[in-house]
Structure 1
Amino acid sequence: MPGLSRRTILAAAGGAVALPTLARAQAAQQLAIATGTTGGVYYPLGGALANYLSRGIPGMSATVEVTGGSVANLQLLGANRVGMVLTQVDASVDAIRGNDRFRGRPVPVRAIAVLYTNRMQVVTVASTGIRSMADLKGKRVSTGAPGSATEVMAFRLIEAAGLDRDKDFRARERLSPAESTNAIKDGKLDAYFFVSGVPTSAITDLGASPGVQLVMVDHDQYVPRIVEKYGPVYFAETIPANTYPGQSTPNKQMSVANIVAVREDMPAALVTQIMQVMWSNREEWARVHSAARDFTLAGQTSAAAGVPWHPAAETFWKAQGATL
């Protein structure tokens, strides 16, 4: 992206990452934004946001971090290693409650904006013979990159479908979407899970590959079971036919909202500046990726955010006319 000051590193939750602390970053007007893998939607949206903030806030230098996804992002936020994250709501709820991957280490995460819907996509090709979740038994699958919300959501879907993630697959890899697409092309993988906005480049790449017939596995029937156990952060949606090359039928799947989030201790003045820049650039942001078209005033609700608002963001949205 032209003019974008960008520092990209692979960030694992427990790895050593040389980033400034939040307090130091704020003093220097430096801001690291944790995104996701390069084959997803968080990365281009985060890159564009870093560009807007760098040019829109005097003295600001915003950079993006390539990570495994939501879980890694929130762990980095909890450790004060980044100042802002893009994350799924389900991972944020786990983080603030200290559940699952955040057990014993709750994160003081606060929402500043609700973005768009993330779609669970169970991806395969016709030659594998996979047409349903049950057909995944005995196959080689990838459940997403380590530290990703894809992995969390995939495990919940696998459980709801009556499969054992440790026993029912011939192999279970933990690959990024781009790596998964390449593995399917090479005949080393049968299917993969990926949660993102649509369309996403890795799946588009697979569908456009010569000699490949893309198949998207329906799984909406398992949503009620998942909601019963994990709460109402998930909902059924449909990815329209022809969203991807070769996708001839609609894909009935499970979705979750995405938010932009910060720590509760980010200064109100900085949050207000960020909100002003983000909101004023929303039309340009939607041209970077179509998922950002869903960044609307009507979408700013507490139910969608899942976690408490940062007070400055709450004030901003109410001033814009949001009911929250």
Structure 2
Amino acid sequence: MMTTLDQMREARTALDTPLFAALPGDISASFEFFPPKSEKMDAQLWDAVQQLKPLRPDFVSVTYGAGGSTRERTHATVSRIIREARIPAAAHLTCVDASKDDIRAVAEQYWADGVRHIVALRGDAGEPGAPFVPHPNGYRNAEELVRGLKDIADFDISVAAYPEKHPDADCPQADIDNLKRKLDAGATRAITQFFFSADTFFRFRDALERSGVDAPVIPGILPVTNVAQARKFAGSCGAQIPAWMDGLFEGLDERPAARQLVAATVAAELCRRLYAGGVRQFHFYTLNRAELAYAICHMLGMRPKERSGE
């Protein structure tokens, strides 16, 4: 844990020297993908996995939808990553449209396939703002899902955190109390939804500390190349898109390379500010593209690593 003096020194360094000069590479990263829907998307995903593999991520995660075909694609993707890429892979699992028996069947199959890490989520059904309705024989929330998974096998479990409050929560403290219940139920860590201000994360971290939450909380980073798409994502998770972001990307619709550069700059600056505040673990929402996440990790001092025997 960084001391106040260390943080002050880091803050001064971030202001007085080139932001990314001489960083020691003492960070770790994880990367999130979504299951492909076509052969072309599958090739794109696998290319991203191969590009990010040399960074030796803590884990990669694969999202999960309510439909049966999406579940199958998630399962196939996670199994392939473990089997062929040999990267620790976490499978997302939600309560949506699933009975407890359904969850057990999926979890037991994951365990049999070598999956030891689950990202346990309540999930959302329908349009943003629509109330969540649990399956009549299912889990009502992520806390119950975590307890159920722990009864099935000794999974390492991650849960979601919301620095700007989940849309369903009555107030920020109620949301923190819910996170604490999920961790107390057996989760190891929390991964935040994306945000665009380092102060947002730091205020959240301070609030968690005041509430007695001491489990690791990893900031989730979304490098934005499409503001309209990011705004759609934000609507379902309570994140705020700052007004200045529209201006930054204005006029770049037909300039994809420039858009990528702007996106990398914005996300890297956010990560550097988080680093200055003591953050050393990052979770990147890749949207199945490796370039931005790889570039940001590189700027933070992370370099490819070799395992003995490889």
When the two structures are superposed, what TM-score results if normalisation uses the length of structure 1?
A: 0.28
Q: Which has the higher helix share?
A: 2
More strand by share: 1
